[in-house]
Structure 1
């Protein structure tokens, strides 16, 4: 099944790419018929509903990433800054509530905003803008572009930056006293610091990968949606690239994480 899907994707991408290059390069193919074929291989024909489903899942699976990183930052905060209270603060019941929050908020935000079409209120000529595009265009108006940035990126991102700033300050204090600790406690503290360092790198890479995408969503309605669709798609793919980076970070910075 995997081989079939991989083969289908390969044929889809390179087959359509071959058509585009052939028609663009060879003048003998510059006819009305071939231009219609070119349009067919570069146009979104699955309809707005399918596009909304696709975009909803993008949001639902993308936004939880930063929520989970925020939750892990809270966990490391108690482990390093308040180690004696860690077992009483970070209990299984609290972890379950954090997991529920990480999934429920993005789902509500993604499906309600997209399928209610609140994101399109006030966008003039929206039907024309999405009638035929080279991708799946769901454009957020000024209100929801700002809301998405604040709720899905800026607020949890600020929480993580604040938490890791506090962890860094506490870690420096620990470094001065670490030589006076028993060996077992010394090793545990070093392990916690290494985990915090790794997660800090994960957070930095996440912010680097996703900030351009969220910033474009915020800025685009103020520029009358003049951002090229190719650029918007590239920024979204760059955000997805974050999921490729995390395993590499864990592998090279903390193999036993």
Structure 2
């Protein structure tokens, strides 16, 4: 974050005053940083607590041990780890404009950031596949959505993200930030989500998976329209299928909100990644920083969607909270 927001006083000093090779630092006023520290801390707290609640609910409920819920569980683990490992140091880097945690942790932080964000989109892709099987092949879903398939989807989501993250890190991408002054100095740690990755990263990480997701959900809702008409025309002998079909359609609509939330939060950032090379990397780093935090909000909104639209989430959460209060 190298340019100051309007109306914020700044002075150029060093991240480490005793080191000549230290990176320059933009010092934002306390009046600017204090409310942002409170806001970011609130966001991080909501991300951690919300995803931890989802994990506890699914783990503690025997009737939620399905392929869909296990994917949601794994997705919530990614959100929890993002809130614990990535966001607190990112908050300090964003507001202090320096990295004070050492080069080794910088490398770990960058890899963890990519893995945890990248695995989110792959989880949502496999959730789309799961919903496609549930809605478009309802009679075969139980036999196809096996425990082995669920494990394969979860491990593939994490494996693809890990391979991609290490491939980016080992390739040592060149920094193309036009307004960057943290180049080979002490106290700098670039997020590998930013401009140095460019169009290739945006296409592989975002646009290809999102295209798959949108394609699958387009087919899902087209077939869902047919199913809704068939459901209403069932005879009395087939009414036992109606609750299951209705349940799958409702779950699909709710998970569509989760996917829509991801697209809403991440699209501005990756559109900038696409446009920036075209306009000779003239987009300010501050805008990238803001859009990156908007993207992080995706992990905060998911638990809220579950709470608003899933009765199983609200009911189990109420039971867990009641038991917890009784212990105290």
- Among 199, 202, 212, the alignment partner of 1:149 is 202
Q: Is the 8 A contact 1:120 1:126 kept in 2?
A: no
Give per-residue Cα distances to partners, 1:178-223, cap 9 Å, x unaligned: 1233333111111111001011111111101011122223333343
Partner of 2:128: 73
Partner of 1:97: 152
Q: Is the 8 A contact 1:77 1:167 kept in 2?
A: yes
Change in 2 beyond 3 A, CA 1:78/1:124: closer
The 5 Å alignment of 1:161-200 reads 161-181=214-234, 182-200=238-256
- Among 44, 68, 74, the alignment partner of 2:98 is 44
Partner of 2:291: 235
User: Could you tell which deviates more after superposition, 246-255 or 203-212?
Assistant: 246-255
List, as ranges, runs of 4+ consecutive aligned residues in structure 1 with deviation greater than 6 Å. Answer: 124-127, 132-135
- Who wins on radius of gyration, i.e. which is larger? 1
Equivalent position SS for 1:171: helix
Task: Give, in angstroms, the shift of residue 124 of structure 1.
Answer: 9.2
Question: How many pairs are equivalent?
Answer: 225
Equivalent position SS for 1:195: helix
Aligned-partner Cα distance in 1 for 2:131–2:251:
8
Aligned-partner Cα distance in 1 for 2:243–2:221:
18
Aligned-partner Cα distance in 2 for 1:228–1:127:
9
Q: RMSD over aligned Cα, in angstroms?
A: 3.3
Q: Is the 8 A contact 1:66 1:153 kept in 2?
A: yes
Give per-residue Cα distances to partners, 1:27-55, cap 9 Å, x unaligned: xxx9x99xx8x947544144665434322
- Among 287, 301, 322, the alignment partner of 1:245 is 301
Q: Is the 8 A contact 1:120 1:140 kept in 2?
A: no
Aligned-partner Cα distance in 1 for 2:141–2:26:
58
Change in 2 beyond 3 A, CA 1:83/1:58: same
Aligned-partner Cα distance in 1 for 2:204–2:222:
27
Partner of 1:18: none
- Among 207, 212, 217, the alignment partner of 2:268 is 212
Task: Give, in angstroms, the shift of residue 162 of structure 1.
Answer: 0.9
Q: Is the 8 A contact 1:206 1:242 kept in 2?
A: yes
Equivalent position SS for 1:120: coil
Partner of 1:84: 139
**TM-score w.r.t. length of structure 2:** 0.60
Change in 2 beyond 3 A, CA 1:52/1:217: farther
Change in 2 beyond 3 A, CA 1:248/1:127: closer
Partner of 1:120: 174
Task: Give, in angstroms, the shift of residue 102 of structure 1.
Answer: 0.6
Change in 2 beyond 3 A, CA 1:150/1:207: same
